[in-house]
C-alpha cells in the first residue's frame, strides 16, 4: 500500500470549522460571487454559470447544479433544499479575538452541506469510486494517497518548499521533523462526525502533516484529552509561515487559520481563498 494510511482512520473526527459567514443566503449578488469563485477555482471542472429558473446555476463536470438556498443541488433535488444543510463560506483566516475563539471552542459550529457538489466535482459518489481514483504520492517523504486532481499542485508545492528550504532553516527543520507514516495521511473515506457531510479526506483533497513528536505541542483541537484548549497559537505545532503561504498560493487552506485550530491539516479549497481575496495560481 505504499506505506500510506489506507482505510484506517488516524484522526477520530474531521471538522470543518466556521469563523463567520461572508455570503448572505438570499443575496443574489453574493450568490453570483460564490458561483464565479467556483468557476475560477476549478476552471477545468466548472463552467456555465447562468441564472436559470430564478436561481444561480453552474455546470459541474457536465451536471447542472443550482445554488438552492446554499445547498448546491442538482435539478432533480433543488426543490427539496430544506432536506439538506447549507454550505458556509467562512472568513479565512479567522480574524476574531481570543474570546471569540474560546466561544467556538466551547460551542463548536461546523461548516456542513450536502455532499452532492463535491461528489460530482471529484467524481466520487461512494467509497469504492473514490478509492479507485486515488494515486500514490510522496510528500517530502510522507507517503499517502491523493486525488489526481491535486497531485500536480502538490508536486509544485513540494518543489517550491524544497527551493525555499535552501535559504530557510526553519523549513529544513520542519521537513526533517515530518512523520512519514500514520497518522500523517491523505485519502481516508469518512463523514464529518455529527454531520452527513463527507470529510474532504474522503475525496483525497486533504492532507495531514504531523511531526514525529509533538513535544507537548497541540495540533488538532480535539486531541487534548478533555483538558483546557489554549486559544493562543504559540502552544501549537506550527508549520513555517513560508510553507503555509506556498500551500495557499496553490489553492490549499490551512487548518491553523480556522476558528477551531487544526495545524496539521491542509485541504484544497480555492473557492474559499478566492472569496476572501487571495490570489490563487
pLDDT in tens, 156-174: 999 999 999 999 999 999 9
- Whether 225 has a pLDDT exceeding 70, the answer reads no
Average pLDDT of the segment spanning 112-132: 93
8-48 tens-digit pLDDT? 334 433 333 433 344 445 689 999 999 999 999 999 999 99
- Whether 194 has a pLDDT exceeding 70, the answer reads no
- Whether 49 has a pLDDT exceeding 60, the answer reads yes
187 contacts 11 by C-beta, under 8 angstroms: no
Average pLDDT of the segment spanning 152-157: 98
Q: For the chain, where are the alpha helices, taking DSSP H only?
A: 28-41, 98-106, 116-121, 127-133, 148-165, 169-177, 241-249, 270-275
Nearest alpha-carbon partner for 262 in 14, 47, 80, 86: 14
Model pTM score: 0.89
DSSP state letter for 86: P
Q: Which residue has the higher pLDDT, 3 or 87?
A: 87
The residue written with cell numbers 494517497 in the block is 145
Q: What is the mean pLDDT of the chain?
A: 86
Torsion of CA 32, 38, 40, 41, to 10 degrees: 160
245-258 tens-digit pLDDT? 999 999 999 999 99
For residues 247 and 142, give the distance between their C-alpha atoms in angstroms, rounded to a whole number. Answer: 16
Can you give the C-alpha Rg of the chain in angstroms? 18
- The SS3 of residue 88 is coil
| Residue % of the chain over a pLDDT of 70 | 85
At residue 195 the predicted structure's pLDDT band, cuts being 50, 70 and 90, is low
- The SS3 of residue 164 is helix
- Whether 244 has a pLDDT exceeding 70, the answer reads yes
148 contacts 44 by C-beta, under 8 angstroms: no
- Whether 141 has a pLDDT exceeding 80, the answer reads yes
Q: Where are the domains of the chain?
A: 28-83, 134-275
Amino acid at each position: 500500500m505504499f506505506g500510506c494510511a489506507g482505510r484506517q482512520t488516524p484522526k477520530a473526527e474531521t471538522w470543518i470549522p466556521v469563523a463567520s459567514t461572508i455570503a448572505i443566503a438570499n443575496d443574489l449578488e453574493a450568490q453570483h460571487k460564490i458561483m464565479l469563485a467556483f468557476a475560477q477555482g476549478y476552471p477545468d471542472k466548472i463552467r456555465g454559470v447562468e441564472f436559470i429558473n430564478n436561481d444561480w446555476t453552474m455546470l459541474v463536470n457536465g451536471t447542472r447544479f443550482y445554488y438552492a438556498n446554499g445547498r448546491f443541488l442538482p435539478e432533480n433535488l433543488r426543490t427539496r433544499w430544506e432536506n439538506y444543510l447549507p454550505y458556509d463560506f467562512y472568513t479565512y483566516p479567522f480574524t476574531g479575538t481570543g474570546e471569540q475563539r474560546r466561544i467556538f471552542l466551547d460551542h463548536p459550529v461546523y461548516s456542513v452541506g450536502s455532499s452532492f457538489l463535491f461528489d460530482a466535482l471529484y467524481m466520487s459518489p461512494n467509497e469504492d469510486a473514490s478509492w479507485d481514483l486515488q494515486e500514490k504520492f510522496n510528500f517530502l517523504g510522507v507517503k499517502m494517497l491523493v486525488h489526481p486532481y491535486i497531485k500536480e499542485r502538490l508536486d509544485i508545492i513540494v518543489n517550491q518548499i524544497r527551493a525555499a528550504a535552501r535559504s530557510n532553516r526553519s523549513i529544513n527543520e520542519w521537513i526533517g521533523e515530518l512523520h512519514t507514516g500514520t497518522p500523517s495521511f491523505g485519502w481516508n473515506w469518512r463523514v464529518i462526525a455529527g454531520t452527513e457531510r463527507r470529510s474532504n479526506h474522503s475525496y483525497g483533497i486533504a492532507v495531514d502533516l504531523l511531526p514525529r513528536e509533538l513535544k507537548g505541542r497541540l495540533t488538532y483541537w480535539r486531541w487534548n484529552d478533555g483538558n483546557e484548549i489554549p486559544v493562543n497559537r504559540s502552544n501549537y505545532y506550527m508549520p513555517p509561515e513560508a510553507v503555509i503561504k506556498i500551500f495557499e498560493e496553490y489553492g490549499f487552506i490551512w487548518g491553523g487559520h480556522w476558528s477551531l485550530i487544526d495545524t496539521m491539516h491542509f485541504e484544497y479549497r480555492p473557492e474559499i481563498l478566492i472569496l476572501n481575496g487571495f490570489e490563487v495560481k
